[in-house]
Amino acid sequence: MADTDPGIVCPACISSAKPIEPPFCRQCASPFTGTVTGETFVCGYCQDLRFNFSRTVCACRAEGVVRDCILRFKYNREMYFGPHLVDWLLGAAQRWIDWREVDAIVPVPLHPRKQRQREFNQAEYLAAALGRAVGVPVLKGKVRRIKDTGTQTKLGAEARMKNLRDAFAVRDEKALKGKRLVILDDVFTTGATMDSCAKTMKSAGAREVIALAVARGV
């Protein structure tokens, strides 16, 4: 990244991002290096899991320049990295999702305490940009986070699932009922956050939920 011009990521750094290309797991978007028969497959991690979202799309691996941009954007509030995240997100979102079949985008909500600390929700920023690009409305505030789970960075998959149990609630069931929805966050790691949120949305009557993120933790 260019130190003399903050927020500008040079072309060489941008090109070092590692996009997630097929074959990747339909359920968690984890990339696979071997040969896979057929268009879709489910990885070993997901074989015995039943997520509440139908599938996952992620743009890049959460490493290198992508990880740096996300961390500086989210935790340091260096907003000038946001457009780079949007560019990566749009590349995958427009390639792998048929937006004619999507009714709305739902950004993963933050707990009010955490949002006050950060002063913004990175998922809402990304959702607003995506919604404008694909012509799909964003349902902001229809799902809320009622459990302050704290950071999950150091937790394993099982602990994350337990930590996020009953973490979300729906504020407006009518806005979700019968809808095909895309739930959006910046990073997908174990899927615990999106699964908990999707479960709440499905319980409110959502017809289908697709998980979408800028980066896949691998």
Higher pLDDT, 4 or 192: 192
Phi–psi pair at 78, nearest 5 degrees = -85, 85
* Residue 19: band (very low, low, confident or very high) from pLDDT cuts 50, 70, 90: very high
User: What is the reported pLDDT for 1?
Assistant: 47
Q: Is residue 159 pLDDT above 80, yes or no?
A: no
Between CA 136 and CA 138 the distance in angstroms is: 7
pLDDT at 157 over 70: no
pLDDT (mean) for 139-147: 93
CB of 163 closer than 8 Å to CB of 145 = no
What single DSSP character describes residue 4? T
Structure tokens at 101: 């079949």
Q: What average pLDDT does the segment 172-182 reach?
A: 96
Is the model's pLDDT at 6 over the cut of 70?
A: no
**168-170 and 143-145: which strand pairing?**
antiparallel
CB contact burial 41-69 (16+ within 10 A = b; e otherwise)? bebeebeeeebbbebbbbbbbbeebbbeb
pLDDT attached to residue 2? 45
- Whole-model pTM? 0.90
CA angle at 83 for the pair 79 and 85, rounded to the nearest 5°? 95
- Rounded to 5 degrees, φ, ψ at 43 are -75, 170
* pLDDT score recorded for residue 167: 86
Q: What is the pLDDT of residues 44-97, one digit of tens each?
A: 889 888 999 999 999 999 999 999 999 999 999 999 999 999 999 999 999 999
Task: Provide the residue ranges of all domains of the chain, joining segments of one domain with +.
Answer: 11-216
CATH topology of domain 11-216: Rossmann fold (3.40.50)
